[in-house]
Chains A and B, each alone.
Chain A
Amino acid sequence: MTELVVGTKKGLFLLEGDPASGFEIKTRAFAGQPVDFATRDPRSGRLLAAVTSPFFGPKIFFTDGDGDGEWEQAGGVELPEGGDQALERIWVIAPGAADGALYAGGDPGVLFESHDGGTGWQINAGLWEQPSRPQWQPGGGGLCVHSICTWPGDPDRLAVAVSAAGIWLTEDGGRSWRRGNGGLNPRYLPEEALKDENAGRCVHHVERAPMRPERLFMQFHGGVYRSDDAGESWTDIGGGGLPSDFGFPLMVDPGDPDSAYVIPLVADTDRVMPGGRVRVYETRDAGASWAERGEGLPAEHAYLTVLRQAFSRAGSGEQLELFFGATSGDLFVSGDAGATWTTAATRLPPVYSVVAV
């Protein structure tokens, strides 16, 4: 049995089932409110939801129940008082490597950390006080920390991605940070601007290969990249069979560090599936080649958009299950590592995030 925690434009949905027999909606919470990201911490069983009320601002709520009852507001999810910025949105919540540790990334370029399972949060001062911060440029979705890559077994090592301030790495638990943008080629910038390390590096999504943690895969704003040195430098792997190297979602197989999946969109000027065909692309050779996967997915006149947090996984290897939701409200699942797909739900509100537990 797999649980899908689905954040949408109009609330949180919890579905249960499996790819073979289908999924059923069990719970809807935060009716009518944008749930930008939601997850269940598999260690504690706690549900956490990032909700951005258009009236009352972004908050993180949590519950140790089944999601139907009362939720509590987490404390400390705010910027320092008296500054000239306000928290705009929480983009992602990720379990840390240490017991009880959680991280949350948000706009404007902010990382929060919790050491009590998500009840209380503190801003990560090391990233917040980066001297270059005034020069950071926002991406189309804002100045968002959207990818948080923990290092299995080592709480001190972390990589985060900021759109469009690039990759930031720490090896001391977040006290100090340095850039990790070597090899990235922002084709949207003039060549002369590449010397400026503050010029926008529009990273769209990053995932770490858990079995080989020095390896990361990245979907860039034009380009798919791989790093084999823990994010210091990057190699373009976006050729070799992809219809486009633009997109947002990316997933890895935790059982195989050579395997990754992307869902390309046409281009930044046309953010829909190429040719109106819903397709996932898989590499089994660390990006040297990509193969189309999509049996069972809509194959014509399906101009869907999948957002960066709306792709998830469960299991690994031959038993890898993949899940993604679209802004059309469709939710697709695969129980055989992307070879075949079924539709788990239709006519949901626009899907912002999917997490399989």
Chain B
Amino acid sequence: MPRVAVVCVRGPLRKLAGGRAEQELGGSTVYELLRALELRHPELGGWILDERGLVRRHINVYVNGERGSEETAVRSADRVEVLPAITGG
């Protein structure tokens, strides 16, 4: 039974996600959630996950404030934030 988590995006990703900063999606891992997000908003295809199914190098994913990866397990009501990495300096 997939868990329903809240996925948060911002900036250009929010625009491609129909202007919604947050939405509930089903999935057991970060990867499944991001695929579900792409299914709902095909314009996001290739923007977060690359062709290998990996989160792009300069995008970070946090699950309840903890840095996660594609395989990170997600539980119901978890909050998954997708953020462009802060680089430079």
Contact = CB atoms under 8 A, between A and B. Distances in A.
Interface of A: 54-57, 59, 73, 78-87
B51 A87 contact: yes
A55 B51 contact: no
A57 B87 contact: no
Report, nearest first, the 3 A-B pairs whose CB atoms are least far apart.
A86-B50, A55-B84, A79-B51
A141 B47 CA distance: 23
Nearest to A88: B50
Given A73-B43, A78-B46, A56 B52 contact: no
Contacts of A81: 51, 53
A55 B84 CA distance: 6
B51 A86 contact: yes
A59 B58 CA distance: 16
24 contacts: A54-B58, A54-B87, A55-B56, A55-B58, A56-B13, A56-B47, A56-B56, A56-B59, A56-B84, A57-B46, A57-B47, A59-B46, A73-B43, A78-B51, A80-B51, A82-B52, A83-B52, A84-B52, A85-B51, A85-B52, A86-B50, A86-B51, A86-B54, A87-B51
Contact of B85 (A55, A82, A84, A86): A55
Interface of B: 12-13, 43, 46-48, 50-54, 56, 58-59, 84-85, 87
Chain B at the A interface: SS class: loop
Contact of A57 (B12, B13, B56): B56
A54 to B, nearest CB: 5
A86 B58 CA distance: 14
B25 to A, nearest CB: 19
Contacts of B12: 56
A83 B51 contact: yes
B49 to A, nearest CB: 9
Most A CB contacts (10 A, CB to CB) among B46, B56, B59, B85 go to: B46
Contacts of B48: 56
Given A56-B59, A82-B51, 18 more contacts: A54-B87, A55-B58, A55-B85, A56-B12, A56-B13, A56-B47, A56-B56, A57-B47, A57-B50, A59-B46, A73-B43, A78-B51, A79-B51, A80-B51, A81-B51, A81-B53, A82-B53, A84-B52
Contacts of B87: 54
B54 to A, nearest CB: 7
Contacts of B52: 82-86
A345 B7 CA distance: 45
Contacts of A80: 51
Nearest to B50: A86
A168 B54 CA distance: 31
Contacts of B54: 86
A73 to B, nearest CB: 7
A22 to B, nearest CB: 35
A70 B19 CA distance: 16
